[in-house]
Chain A
Amino acid sequence: MDFELSDDQVALAEGVAALCEGRFDIESVRAMEVDGLDRGRWGELAETGVFSLCLAEDDGGVGLGWAEAAVVFEQLGRALVPGPLVAATLAAGLIEGAADGSTVVTTVPRSLGPAMVEHAAWADVVVISDDQGLWSVPAGALDGVDANQPLDPLTPVRRIDALPQGDQIGDAAAADAWRLRGSMLTAALQLGIAAGATELAVGYAKEREQFGRPIGAFQAVKHRCADMITRVEVLRAAVYAAGATLDGRGADSPERAVSVAKILASSAAAACGKDCVQVHGGMGYTWEVDAHLFLKRAWVHDLAFGEGSELAEELAAGLVS
């Protein structure tokens, strides 16, 4: 057993972090609040192989594993990179152009009643998942109303009153795999969000002075930061375990490992987002400071690919069976 990152995995994480710093710096990211998804940058991201990471080399992918994807998605979450990152990766190899970024794919689970579709305005194709399989619809064919003010300014949503059936592109097993992998990737994004919010809060706690000293010297602030990093470290262990398990290098069933990661991710990311706001005081409630972006993105991801409480209920059933 060796649960440390390999040198290659460390290098991969650093590479993606550097890419994010260069091309998805926070100013460029925030410009997309107004201008919409920057397709140029989306294509650049695709070109680095981020979306085709787990696609076999014979199919034009990078041929790495889900553990590597976890490490990469952690960095994307940390940098608040917007767009349907998870759907792009899941659709690589399934939908023409998803892997190279020329087709932007988004996804929504089929539900009774009206649906909120993330990134509908930015996307070309929407994949609907349900128990029977995966179904594709051109985004333009989805009649609905784009929300004036989405909860997360970088996750635009469109209200669709009735989702169409769509063309089948995968069977029930494909839909299961879609949900399982999507859940792990989302948990990895949430890990990055929790880590990014913690870094932002700790940085501020070292700089901001009150009563003649940095606020991070006060235990009420210091201990809040310690609780943040504690959540991050526990979550990181769960997310990496889920990634390794999807690659067949785990101890549990992939379903259980991924549920564990997603359950922890849901509570940890939102809690770190809220703590980040609190550590910033009044600044934390401004549009200008990124704290609210971490929190809002955490809330968005909690509802994608399995909501924490529902997964927890499913896991509990295993305790008495």
Chain B
Amino acid sequence: MDLRYTDEEEHFRDELRTWLSGVLPDVPPLPEDHTDLVARRAYDTDWQRMLYEAGYAGIHWPAEFGGRGSTPTEHLIFLEETERAGAPYVGVNFVGQLHAGPTLIAEASDAQRSTHLAPILKGEHVWCQGFSEPGSGSDLASLSTRAIDDGDDYVVTGQKIWTSFAQVADYCELLVRTDADAPKHKGITWVIMPMDAPGIEIRPIDTALGAGEFAEMFLDEVRIPKSNRVGDENDGWRVTNVTFAFERGTAFISEVISSQRLLADLAAVATRVTRRSGTAWDDAGIRRELGRLDAELDALWSLTKRNVSQAQRTGMVGPGGSVFKLAYADVRKRMADLAEQLLGRAGLAIGDTLDLSDLDHVGERLYTLTLTIAAGTSEIQRNIVGERLLGLPRGDR
């Protein structure tokens, strides 16, 4: 049990810091208009390209697939340092980097790997995730988008929903039903869908934040070559679960660091908010909640290190990912409540906190709503923890 980093790890960190401090001054700020996904894509892929050229793309991918082949600990250091330095986040490259890419590495054919992996690393191809459907969210395995066998192709018809960044994606990791008669988990296939294939219609959906991050996808007899299938026909559920393990493992590491920054800013806000006498900071209840949240974020950082150490030893991200996600969502929602309490009427607009803060605490408060929904709701995470970690019996669904 040793939380200190080895000399090699520290060396990796130093090199990264030097590189970041060299390039970040020239990286422009995020585009102002967060509804402009084309600009967002250009911004995020430019950063991906810079990472690629510096040898930091696909940090956790094996070297034989163009990655850096770093250890999980180095990956942790990378996420920590880039976030601390205020570097751009993975953004539209999320699915390619953290879902589709790792799944292709684990499950795809050599031909598929050589077509797709390098362009993901270079920021040339953006991927999206076409899993959820209007009738199949938590019960994902009930999905009904149909793939009809037609010679060398599947002909796919159905509807997907909540597909983040579909509007600007080149490829989609798509789940389709290839056997309608088999039990629901046994008739699903994982395919690569080029987003320029005829028959795809995309309709953006406005989020509660007023941005167009996700979309509905209508598929009308879209032809997908069978050579785009990853894994065996009807084995897509297993392939999907490979993806989920990656998703829960690393998705929120950077967010712990940015949450610490938000919390420190909330403490500063507390010292600025005037009350009838003195400031909000004079309220011991507020100070205690700030201190508790500080402690909990600190503990979540330690839990992250535990999960990373486990991955380093076993190569797997266990149910620790679900535990982390549940606890993290809870902390962030309490931070949001505290922000609401502190801002008072300064919380009535997004982007104007009456000079109390430069950070977007109101937008962040809305964002926390997604933390108990996206990537498996908290109810579903609790089912997973209760059944897989504690061995409690399954009930009615």
Contact = CB atoms under 8 A, between A and B. Distances in A.
B296 A222 contact: no
A237 B390 contact: no
A317 B290 CA distance: 9
Contacts of B198: none
A277 B387 CA distance: 21
Contacts of A260: 294-295, 298-299
Interface string B375-396: 0000101110111011111111
Interface in A108-150: none
A218 to B, nearest CB: 6
A314 B3 CA distance: 24
Interface string B179-199: 000000000000000000000
A231 B323 CA distance: 9
Interface stretch (B38-46, B90-98, B309-317, B347-355): B309-317
A263 B294 CA distance: 10
Nearest to A240: B1
Contacts of A237: 299-300, 302-303, 305-306
Interface residues of A, number: 61
A134 B395 CA distance: 56
Contact of A218 (B271, B320, B395): B395
B389 A229 contact: yes
Contact of A225 (B299, B300, B379, B386): B386
Contact of B288 (A223, A257, A312): A312
Contacts of B308: 1, 3
B295 A213 contact: no
B80 to A, nearest CB: 11
Interface string A178-212: 00000000000000000000000010011000000
B303 to A, nearest CB: 4
A264 interface: yes
A267 B292 contact: yes
B9 A226 contact: no
Interface stretch (A45-53, A90-98, A242-250): A242-250
Interface stretch (A4-12, A24-32, A282-290): A4-12
Contact of B1 (A4, A206, A225, A235): A4
B237 interface: no
Contacts of A58: none
Contact of B394 (A217, A225, A244): A217
Given A216-B386, A225-B390, A264 B288 contact: no
Contact of B296 (A241, A250, A264, A316): A264
A227 B291 CA distance: 21
Contacts of A202: 390-392
A226 B382 contact: yes
A237 to B, nearest CB: 4
A313 interface: yes
Interface string B249-263: 000000000000001
B374 interface: no
B14 to A, nearest CB: 15
Best-buried of A226, A267, A311, A317 by chain B (most CB within 10 Å): A226
A316 B270 CA distance: 11
A16 to B, nearest CB: 16
B309 A1 contact: yes
Contacts of B387: 222
B20 interface: no
Given A206-B391, A217-B392, A223 B306 contact: no
B281 interface: yes
A223 B4 contact: no
A225 to B, nearest CB: 6
B11 interface: no
Interface in B289-339: 289-292, 294-296, 298-300, 302-303, 305-306, 308-310, 312-313, 320, 323, 326-327
Contact of A316 (B290, B305, B393, B396): B290
Contacts of A257: 298
A233 B2 contact: no
A217 B395 contact: yes
Given A217-B394, A226-B385, 14 more contacts: A1-B309, A2-B2, A3-B308, A206-B392, A225-B392, A235-B299, A236-B306, A238-B299, A241-B302, A244-B1, A249-B1, A263-B295, A313-B291, A318-B294
7 contacts: A213-B395, A226-B386, A229-B390, A237-B299, A244-B1, A260-B294, A318-B294
Pairs A-B, 7 closest by C-beta atoms:
A312-B291, A316-B291, A217-B395, A319-B267, A238-B299, A222-B386, A216-B392
Interface of A: 1-6, 9, 67, 202, 205-206, 213-214, 216-219, 221-223, 225-227, 229-231, 233-238, 240-241, 243-245, 249-252, 256-257, 259-261, 263-264, 267, 308-309, 311-320
Interface of B: 1-6, 9, 73, 263-264, 267-268, 270-271, 281, 284, 287-292, 294-296, 298-300, 302-303, 305-306, 308-310, 312-313, 320, 323, 326-327, 379, 381-383, 385-387, 389-396
